[in-house]
Amino acid sequence: MTTNLTGRPAEIAIDFGTANLRMIHRDGGVIFDEPSLCCLTGLHDQPRFIAAGAPVSAMTDRTPAGMRVRRPLRRGVLQDIGAATHLLRYAASHVIKRRAFRSPRVMIGLPADVTQAERNAMLTAARDAGLNPVCFVPEPLAAAIGANLEIDAPQGTMIVECGAGTTEVALLSLGGVCLTRSLRGGGAELDAAIIEFLHARHKLLVGRSSAERIKYAIGEACTRGGAADAIEVKGRSLVSGLPAAIRIAPTEFADVIERHAQHIVDLILEVLAETPPELSKDIHGQGIVLTGGGAATPALREKIEAGTGLGVTIAEESGLCVARGLLKILHNGSAAS
């Protein structure tokens, strides 16, 4: 279930996502929950730390020459160990108040199909940040525990963890992962598709944060049944080169959202086609549970229900499921052998 590195129990857990970093303390719960961003300045071989986490959100796409906002993870994979180390150190300074004699032992959530190279990169970043990795936990397992699902029984559970950089479909039973498939893409790719659509159709250039806000606005409009209410979109006109604002009906984004959802439906269908019959029977009764921040993506639930014929539930506070699951594991140690 977990990769045990030292056998000693962990006191801190980390959910290091493409969009958000959550750091959890066994006694304090989810203490740090901020964007996975780090701002550095200076030369490549000697960068100087400026800021990390929440304050960097407003700096994104607004930095002067020589200063850069870095995202340590891309499509769920750690790409920038230096930036990751700075961010982990910053988060740890919020979570570990007392100066400990020994470096704190940590448990890290990782995608179930993580490669050895990806695991090693995370180990290096954590150690460089003064954290001592104890074990790794497959994220879908943590997500299921955080969603309060009964996973220890001989009973199949299907979970779809919809992150910003990865979408993971996992079939769980008897406290372990039976089958998993992932897509190296998630909410961030939908934002990129929105940017592309506005560029191609409306000749308007928008940044990533604006695209994410548009995505939320589409979701809110659909939820309150106001799909015809126009959304204001601001950016730079590619025609005039000037700042511009246009109003677009949420329904205009239907194809973009549909294509995104279809990738996830295809991934689920792939796992269902390989599911052993007894587990398949369980899933037919129980349906599918969506976790991760992207679980609330407009029309995703309806699209999965239509594509699979199964019931779909969105976990409460879906973005926090992995972190809550890690906290439970810190407490009872069940998944951290």
Ligand X SMILES: Nc1ncnc2c1ncn2[C@@H]1O[C@H](COP(=O)(O)OP(=O)(O)OP(=O)(O)O)[C@@H](O)[C@H]1O
Residues that bind ligand X (CB under 6 A): 17-20, 73, 76, 163-166, 186-188, 212, 215-216, 219, 292-294, 296-297, 319
> Is residue 116 classed as helix, strand or coil in its secondary structure?
helix
Nearer to Mg ion, 118 or 252 (CB): 118
> Is residue 222 classed as helix, strand or coil in its secondary structure?
helix
Q: Give me 246's structure tokens.
A: 């246009």
Question: Least separation, in Å, of the C-beta of 252 and ligand X?
Answer: 17
Nearer to ligand X, 188 or 279 (CB): 188
Question: Least separation, in Å, of the C-beta of 268 and ligand X?
Answer: 16
Q: How many helices (H) and strands (E) does the chain have?
A: 10, 19
How far, in Å, CA of 111 to CA of 117, rounded?
13
Q: What sections of the chain are H helices per DSSP?
A: 54-57, 81-95, 116-128, 139-146, 187-202, 208-223, 254-274, 277-286, 300-308, 321-332
Helix, strand, coil content of the chain in percent (nearest 5): 40, 30, 30
User: If contact means CB under 5 to 8 A according to the sort of partner, which of ligand X, Mg ion, none does residue 108 touch?
Assistant: none
Question: Least separation, in Å, of the C-beta of 20 and ligand X?
Answer: 4
Question: Least separation, in Å, of the C-beta of 77 and Mg ion?
Answer: 12
Nearer to ligand X, 172 or 194 (CB): 194
User: If contact means CB under 5 to 8 A according to the sort of partner, which of ligand X, Mg ion, none does residue 308 touch?
Assistant: none
In contact, 291 and 262? CB cutoff 8 Å:
no
Residues in contact with Mg ion, shown as a per-residue x/- string from 49 to 88 under the rule CB under 5 A: ----------------------------------------
Alpha-carbon separation of residue 295 from 68, 116, 207, 290 (angstroms) = 30, 28, 23, 5
Residues in contact with Mg ion, shown as a per-residue x/- string from 132 to 171 under the rule CB under 5 A: -------------------------------x--------
Binding test (CB under 5 A) with Mg ion, winner from 13, 17, 33, 39: 17
In contact, 292 and 163? CB cutoff 8 Å:
yes
Length of the chain: 337
- CA–chain centroid gap for 313, Å, is 18
Question: Least separation, in Å, of the C-beta of 322 and Mg ion?
Answer: 6
Question: Least separation, in Å, of the C-beta of 281 and ligand X?
Answer: 30
Give the residues lining the site for Mg ion (CB under 5 A): 17, 163
